[in-house]
Amino acid sequence: MALIPVALMFIASLAIIEQIKLFGHHTNQLIYSKVFFTSQLIVNIILMVSIPTSLFTFFYQFIQNTGSNRLVVLILLLLSSSILLIVNKRLGLIATNHDKYYARLTAYQSVLKNNKEMK
């Protein structure tokens, strides 16, 4: 049971290192970030599927097994899964250079280049 959180923490640490490296070297290939967010989404789906089954008490030993608690956990998992889907979509846009920040960066670089040429 402890393997799932440990594995996610390991993958998250790789994604964090990848994000820190972005400050010094810009890249659009965020491999570890994609792996982490996809893994987290898969775990969320597995946990959502387990809610109506007896596995709920196995995964959530620290939560009292009531209908309202199951509903709260389901809502939290749905919210976090929605956020993960948005993040994965944005990572796809970044990988293909279609994100709005890349467009701003290229516009800024062209302005700098034009200003240099004018001097």
pLDDT digits (tens, 9 = 90+) for 17-68: 988 887 777 777 889 999 999 999 999 999 999 999 999 999 999 999 999 9
Mean predicted confidence (pLDDT) in 106-112: 84
Residue 6 has pLDDT above 90, yes or no: yes
Cα 116 to chain center, whole Å?
A: 39
Query: How far is Cα 90 from Cα 92, in angstroms, rounded to an integer?
Result: 5
116 — pLDDT class (breaks 50, 70, 90): confident
Q: What is the pTM of this model?
A: 0.80
